[in-house]
Amino acid sequence: MTMDALVYWLGTSEEEIHFIDAIISSYDGMAAVRRDFRIVDGCALYKVFVSPGMEDEFLEVMVRLKEKANITALIREEADDAVSDTPN
């Protein structure tokens, strides 16, 4: 049985997502930042796919990144709470 990647939504600015993407990309195979985003309550949330088995490492990196980058939210998408493509 294979696990699918976990999906997180990362709240930050367009400028910061490039910095965050560069840091996350340096950890081979941990996660992939997408330029897909949603606006929720005025905040841009960028989609991040986290590789199976790498969630703890990803969260540790995010804690350190919050010290340097403007990260306003980090939300794990649950299968039954997926961020919708259509506004509510």
pLDDT recorded at residue 79: 67
**Do the domain assignments include residue 43?**
no
Number of domain units in the chain: 1
pLDDT recorded at residue 3: 65
**Do the domain assignments include residue 4?**
yes
pLDDT recorded at residue 69: 94
Segments forming the whole domain that contains residue 29 = 1-34
At 36-88, the pLDDT tens digits run 899 999 999 999 999 999 999 999 999 999 999 999 999 999 865 554 443 33
At 12-43, the pLDDT tens digits run 998 999 999 999 999 999 999 998 899 999 99
**Do the domain assignments include residue 86?**
no
Q: CA-to-CA distance for 58 and 51, rounded, in angstroms?
A: 9
pLDDT recorded at residue 84: 44
pLDDT recorded at residue 2: 44
Q: CA-to-CA distance for 49 and 51, rounded, in angstroms?
A: 6
Site of tokens 């919050």: 66
**Do the domain assignments include residue 17?**
yes
